[in-house]
Structure 1
Amino acid sequence: MKSSDIWQLSAVELAKSTKIGDITAEAAVQASIDRMAQVNPDLNAVVVDLSDDAIVRARALDKSRTDGKPCGPLHGLPVTIKINVDQAGHATSNGVSALVDLIAPDDAPVVKNLQDAGAIVIGRTNTPEFSFRADTDNPLHGRTHNPWGRHISPGGSSGGAGAAVMAGIGAFAHGNDIGGSLRFPAAANGAVTVKPGLGRVPAWNPSQTVERGILAQNMSVQGVITRSARDLHLAMPSLIAADPRDPFHVPMPWNGKTQATPVRVAFCKETYGYALHPEVDAALDDARAALIDAGYHVEEVTLPDVFDAGRTGYRALMGEVYALMKGDVDAAGSQTVRDIFAVYFQEFSPFSGVELLQMMAKRTQYARDWSLFMQRFPLVLTPFLPQPFFKPDRDTEGAAGVHEVLGCAFYSYAMNFLGLPAASVPSRLAQLPTGPQPINVQIAAPRWREDLAVDACIAIEDRIGCMCKPLWEQMRSRI
């Protein structure tokens, strides 16, 4: 393989080569840095360039390997980190101009775990202000663009991560998710991810001065976005390594016990009054066919009330946001993000007082219903969004825009409220009047069984293919 093509390798392929020395860590990192220099000026996905530090670390890892020291599972893999997570010596700006000087005193657990496993950070990726939009733009670093074209938002809040990894910048990208912020960018860019369940990946920012609200703690998770589903099985075991700074992390192994076969999959196209686009309908059928071909038993069923769980959960989260975060948004946010938050509070009328406490308690009822249901159906295949991904800045277009972007995304934030794992995988490349666009579906799994969801993503990907290949062909014609 030519050195200029190394960036095209999957994380699994690259890790195999770097650990045995067929490809040096320096060559792997340099290939991603070169790719970043080629495509990032147009995308603005990586907003903090750490190329120089990355090369120094790569050379150190190469020396360590040649000295006979053991290699970590992610030895020499170039990765990116989202700018809302602490990385020692760098600003955790969260897309907010007022936080540009908030320099992290230490690494967050997820950064430490990645680097301990041998990963090399080549840059930090963009996020919207306060990481609270499904699109990615902010006054500090500007807009991130989707590599498929400017007719599609890159998603958010891990929009820089999704655009970067699909464009070939890094083997995989760190991101996080409180209501869909891993899965929105995966769906927008045709990438793959699994939102871990509650307590799976240790989380904490050493720069924070107060603890996050209890719902933010229970709904927000750390993860990665990849080009290939198999890369999740490589990356996630390193992410879930225990860290005492997160006292509620649960040290469970990545792989659970073998399921009885065929694994049963609940299949549902219900969109609760939202129109199901024909291409999303077809993507669901394609995913179902792929799972059946792979030996899964797929049965169309009625789910526990995911719409009510999702809307209740997000209204509860908005109650906490209104009480604990609105003042910061008003004080440090742009007019654009203040206007968006005002519409959020209209779309998801915040619970408050006793009612907020009651709805937080009701979370257990929803989770119990799903836990019992998943005794029969360990996997649940559904739409992620009922329509193809929206255009940039759709959420700035008042109530109708926010309703299209978040109102219909109950399958997404319901899983955060329930604390369940949920994967996103592309199952179709739609040719729409606006241009080509990947369509992702969602696969939910029981608590602690992210591995089952990833296995199902692999089965779909094996039939459909990775979306990066047609994307790179399209990008080649534009570069």
Structure 2
Amino acid sequence: MDDEIWTWDSVATAAAIRAGSISSREATEAAIDRMHAVNPALNAVVESLEAEALAAADAADISRARGGALGTLHGVPVTAKVNVDVAGHATTHGVVAFKDAMAADDSASVANLRHAGAVIVGRTNVPTFSYRWFTTNSLYGKTHNPWDPALSPGGSSGGAAAASAAGIGSIAHGNDVAGSLRLPASTCGIYGMRPTAGRLPSYNPAQGAEKSLCLQIAATEGVLARSVRDIDAGLSALERPDHRDPWQAPPLTPRLELGMPCRVALFVGEAEFGTHAEVAANVRQAAMWLEDAGYIVDEVAPPRLAEMAELWMALLYAECSGPVRDFMLSVGDDAFRKAFHDTAGNLPVLDAMGVQQAWERRLSIQREWQVFFAEYPVVLTPTSFQPTFPIDHDQEGAEIMAMIMKAFSPLSSTAGLSLPAVSVPVGQARNVPAGVQIVAGRFMDERCLAAARVMEENIGPIAPIDPVRG
């Protein structure tokens, strides 16, 4: 299996295409064949773009033969999440009412992937409105975890993570506002990074309204992959400037002049969050690998993590109020409505003054983290304090939802602070993957990747998994 093209990462595939060792057509056909073989068990890709992908692959091969300029992902098969616009296709968000909502133009992410030469072979599943941590919806159905079909692949980029983990393309596009890249990476045993909010452009031409304040400030596009160098390659492709996004910052340059390795704050969360023993062991193993590489690791808690997690979720749900909430609840499915109500029921209700005060409190917490980063440039936590949950576990009542929200506090807190973070597949809990999370200060994305590379040297290569069939 290791010699088959679909098992390669994108950097190796791009190099082989550039050298003429293989064609883009061969790489794309290999990814499509793999999709045909494993997607029926996963339901990760919910829209095949096979015909378009093969045409794009042929065009990539012609361009190379003619000596045309080659992008960093020239001819490489990838996937895109179904909540971003692809010209000529419906941006459904997993909602039945949007099944015919055709997009006339590409989103910023899709346009940048194409500009880098990538071939998009399919679009991956999401929860309804991408508003759950569990990837199921009434339009496309459930996505299964490749390690255990009874378990969730996480959300909202659950289809993307399952696809990459199983070898349907190497790089998978995703996005993250409360953990939607890092949680699926953790549950599926791959890498997933949300960069600093603002690093990558984000715009859907078919969007009916402008983004809410929370989404403007902290939502970000990102990538999932089976290697750190693919994460880096995907981010580099996606950060090409797009003037349709006024929030995008100038492209980053590596900022390692501050010194590497550095001090690391290790937060396991056992006492406050009841961290599962195997999850805790994974984080401590990751810390040992960093220490072996010269990092100085201290066990110390970052500021107000639990408070920030609840605050961020409360702000997200406060923004989804009035006519917006009424519309989403009216067209969403029953599982979405159940999850929405149980989540909201575990959060403080913010009126107009409460929202203003919440944003002020966020700034206070953000300042404390900035001071904390001055001493500890890297923070190491579990990606989730608990092992992977069963599919639709958020349908089990308000008390279970409270436990889920607590488990995912490392995700929502850091997202709400607009920080870069990467989930790394260090080990397992209950016989399935459980990642650790590396967090750094804003626009210090390279610190996350540098620490992830240290761990990758100890983890070794990640081969695509053959899905376990139920």
TM-score normalised over the length of structure 1: 0.95
Distance 2:120 2:188 in 1: 21
**What's the CA shift for 1:400?**
2.4
1:453 pairs with one of 448, 451, 455: 448
Name the SS of the counterpart of 1:307 in structure 2: helix
Partner of 1:438: 433
Give the count of matched residue pairs. Answer: 470
Task: Establish whether residue 55 from structure 1 lines up as the match of residue 54 from structure 2.
Answer: yes
How far does the alpha carbon of each residue in 1:21-53 deviate from its partner, in whole angstroms, 9 at most, with x for none?
112111111110000000001111001000111
Distance 2:193 2:61 in 1: 31
Partner of 1:462: 457
Moved more, 137-146 or 308-317: 308-317
Distance 2:110 2:270 in 1: 37
Would you say the 8 A contact 2:41–2:469 is kept in 1? no
Distance 2:451 2:62 in 1: 38
**What's the CA shift for 1:324?**
5.8
Would you say the 8 A contact 2:305–2:413 is kept in 1? yes
Partner of 1:129: 128
Distance 1:107 1:201 in 2: 15
Partner of 2:172: 173
Partner of 1:319: 318
Would you say the 8 A contact 2:94–2:129 is kept in 1? yes
Would you say the 8 A contact 2:144–2:150 is kept in 1? no
Partner of 1:146: 145
Partner of 1:409: 408
Partner of 2:329: 330
The alignment yields a C-alpha RMSD, in angstroms, of 1.7
Partner of 2:365: 366
Would you say the 8 A contact 2:200–2:221 is kept in 1? yes
Distance 1:263 1:375 in 2: 11
Distance 2:102 2:260 in 1: 50
Distance 2:22 2:142 in 1: 34
Name the SS of the counterpart of 1:241 in structure 2: coil
Partner of 1:355: 354
Cα distance 1:271–1:202, how it changes in 2: closer, same or farther (>3 A)? farther
Identity %: 39
Would you say the 8 A contact 1:213–1:324 is kept in 2? no
Cα distance 1:183–1:324, how it changes in 2: closer, same or farther (>3 A)? farther
**What's the CA shift for 1:466?**
4.1
Partner of 2:241: 242
Partner of 2:119: 120
Give the gaps of 5 or more residues in structure 1: none
Distance 1:396 1:272 in 2: 27
Would you say the 8 A contact 2:195–2:421 is kept in 1? yes
What are the residue-to-residue correspondences of 1:230-379 with 2, within 5 Å? 230-271=229-270, 273-323=272-322, 325-379=324-378
Cα distance 1:315–1:271, how it changes in 2: closer, same or farther (>3 A)? farther
Would you say the 8 A contact 1:347–1:407 is kept in 2? no
Distance 1:404 1:458 in 2: 32
**What's the CA shift for 1:181?**
0.6
Would you say the 8 A contact 1:48–1:125 is kept in 2? yes
What are the residue-to-residue correspondences of 1:135-214 with 2, within 5 Å? 135-214=134-213
Name the SS of the counterpart of 1:175 in structure 2: strand
Name the SS of the counterpart of 1:124 in structure 2: strand
Distance 2:7 2:469 in 1: 18
Partner of 2:32: 33
Cα distance 1:189–1:107, how it changes in 2: closer, same or farther (>3 A)? same
Name the SS of the counterpart of 2:71 in structure 1: coil
Distance 2:469 2:197 in 1: 41
Distance 1:177 1:369 in 2: 23
Would you say the 8 A contact 1:7–1:170 is kept in 2? yes
Partner of 2:382: 383
Name the SS of the counterpart of 1:304 in structure 2: coil
Distance 2:145 2:61 in 1: 34
Moved more, 333-342 or 109-118: 333-342
Moved more, 63-72 or 400-409: 400-409
Structure 1 stretches of at least 4 aligned residues deviating more than 4 Å after TM superposition: none
**What's the CA shift for 1:369?**
1.1
Would you say the 8 A contact 1:200–1:251 is kept in 2? yes
What are the residue-to-residue correspondences of 1:51-130 with 2, within 5 Å? 51-130=50-129
Partner of 2:395: 396
**What's the CA shift for 1:196?**
1.2
Name the SS of the counterpart of 1:68 in structure 2: coil
Would you say the 8 A contact 1:269–1:382 is kept in 2? yes
**What's the CA shift for 1:467?**
4.5
Name the SS of the counterpart of 1:122 in structure 2: strand
**What's the CA shift for 1:119?**
0.5
How far does the alpha carbon of each residue in 1:171-211 deviate from its partner, in whole angstroms, 9 at most, with x for none?
11011111011011111101101111121111111001211
- Aligned AA (2:408): A
Distance 1:299 1:445 in 2: 15
How far does the alpha carbon of each residue in 1:297-343 deviate from its partner, in whole angstroms, 9 at most, with x for none?
21212321111112112111111123463112221011221111111
Would you say the 8 A contact 2:199–2:252 is kept in 1? no
Would you say the 8 A contact 2:269–2:385 is kept in 1? no
Distance 2:275 2:327 in 1: 37
Distance 1:82 1:334 in 2: 20
**What's the CA shift for 1:416?**
1.4
Distance 1:38 1:370 in 2: 46
Distance 1:244 1:398 in 2: 44
Distance 1:291 1:11 in 2: 26
- Aligned AA (2:449): V
Distance 2:113 2:145 in 1: 26
TM-score normalised over the length of structure 2: 0.96
Give the gaps of 5 or more residues in structure 2: none
**What's the CA shift for 1:465?**
2.6
How far does the alpha carbon of each residue in 1:69-121 deviate from its partner, in whole angstroms, 9 at most, with x for none?
12100111101111111111110000000001111111111111111001110
Would you say the 8 A contact 2:161–2:172 is kept in 1? yes
